[in-house]
Amino acid sequence: MSCSKPIEPIELTEAEFRKISQLIYEQCGIYLNESKKELIKARLGKRLREGEFKSFRDYYDYILKDESGMELIRFLDSIATNFTFFFREPRHFEYLRFEFIPDMITRKRKSNRNRKIRLWSAGCSSGEEAYSIVITLLEAIDNPLVWDIKIIATDLSTRALKIAKSGIYPFEKVRDLDSIILRKYFLKGTKKWENCVRVKDQLKSYIRFQRLNLMERFPFSESFDCIFCRNVMIYFDKKHQTELVNRFYECLNSGGLLIVGHSESLSGISHPFKYLRPSIYKKLE
């Protein structure tokens, strides 16, 4: 009788960690200190085994030599954190529904020209935030069909975006949603999907999911009424936070909002936004 030999974990040296963390910083602005060494080792370990790399240095060199850029995307996918759920940090959606959206609709009606509503979920992960935004809009607007509504939802992770585009989630993800909202916007799975729900096509039609590295040039031709960038900038240093926040400002319409995570703040960052309340900032009109 033979026993399979246990797989020995590949060690991550200090020099390798510095090279890998520097590559992450250069590519997407995420700063990883020494405390993240074991996290990097764990997240990249599977890829090393799949590719039969003998060391992290071998894998690092392979990324740099891959002219297609696909391995870099795969590498960044492994690093990205994709934890979210529907209506996370609910006060943001309450403010959107009961204060910002009614005011925005009033302003747009007065102009008699602007029927466009544009929001951006920057760092949308697996899509729950983007779908929550659309539900909030549809519930807040009396006649949404007369408006040109579009949500742009971007993320660094192709893996997370694949889930977002499918719109299929475990039932646990929506268990706490209001039953009326659940019936209105989700379909219950059957047979092998009985423990899942799927977002209705009506909801999907308002959203365009696409991959975007926030450190790269924004590819948008239109400006936004509101940008959600929550629990993303905590991974950036002050330099990249400052650059990103000011680029967001340029992408917003007058009176537009930037909403960040409750654990985040723009304090210590030079920016032109007006503070409204914790984690909510406005572009002056």
Q: Active-site residues: which are they?
A: 43, 155
Query: Which single residue is written with the structure tokens 């009614």?
Result: 102
Enumerate the β-bridge partners of residue 150: 118
Strands ordered across the beta sheet of 224-229: 207-211, 148-155, 116-122, 224-229, 252-260, 280-282, 274-277
The token pair that represents 102 in the structure block:
């009614």
Rounded Cα distance between 124 and 69, Å, is: 22
Enumerate the β-bridge partners of residue 211: 155
Evaluate whether 46 touches 59 at the Cβ level (below 8 Å): no
Evaluate whether 248 touches 258 at the Cβ level (below 8 Å): yes
At residue 4, the 3 state secondary structure works out as coil
Distances (CA, A) of 258 to 81, 97, 189, 195, 226: 21, 15, 35, 35, 6
What number of other Cβ atoms are within 10 A of residue 177's Cβ? 17
Q: Which amino acid is at 79?
A: I
Enumerate the β-bridge partners of residue 236: 30
The residues near 4 (Cβ < 8 Å, ≥ 6 apart) are none
The token pair that represents 281 in the structure block:
């900032």
DSSP 8-state code for residue 98:
I
